Amino acid sequence: MKHFVVQYSPSDKFSAVVIATGINGPQEDLEQVEEELRRRRHVSGQVVFDLLTANGTKSRRFFSMDFDGEHFPKVQFRRVEPDEAVRTASAQFFCKYAEEVNLSLLSPAMRFAVSQGIEI
């Protein structure tokens, strides 16, 4: 599995969700993230990044950046609190792929919650 996964956003606030799948965050390779977003049609506007596995904490988990359909014009992350739809989609992803995602930075309680599909 790559160090991130891109999904269409279930929320009207964001056009896509980029989920870190290990300790290396997707922000470390924004060109690859841009390429993946370009492959998906109609992605532009706010993109939310779920950095739970890269940061290991829920307090600095969600960030967003503007995407113009081709590039991130300004590399400027803003901390955000996404709506319930994004949190649910992330929880479902982590539950489904818990065995393939590197959860080593998470506490045992957080790993258990992720494996059960509990939103954290």
Cα–Cα distance, 120 to 117 (Å, whole number): 9
Residue 120 falls inside a structural domain: no
User: How large is the average pLDDT for residues 5-22?
Assistant: 96
Residue 43 falls inside a structural domain: yes
User: How large is the average pLDDT for residues 79-93?
Assistant: 96
Domain count, the chain: 1
Range of the domain at 41: 4-114
Residue 119 falls inside a structural domain: no
In this prediction, residue 30 has a pLDDT band, given cuts at 50, 70 and 90, of very high
Residue 66's alpha-carbon distances to 25, 40, 70, 98, 106, in angstroms, are 17, 16, 11, 29, 28
Residue 90 falls inside a structural domain: yes
Residue 23 falls inside a structural domain: yes
**The pLDDT of residue 1:** 63
120: Cα separation from own chain's centroid: 13
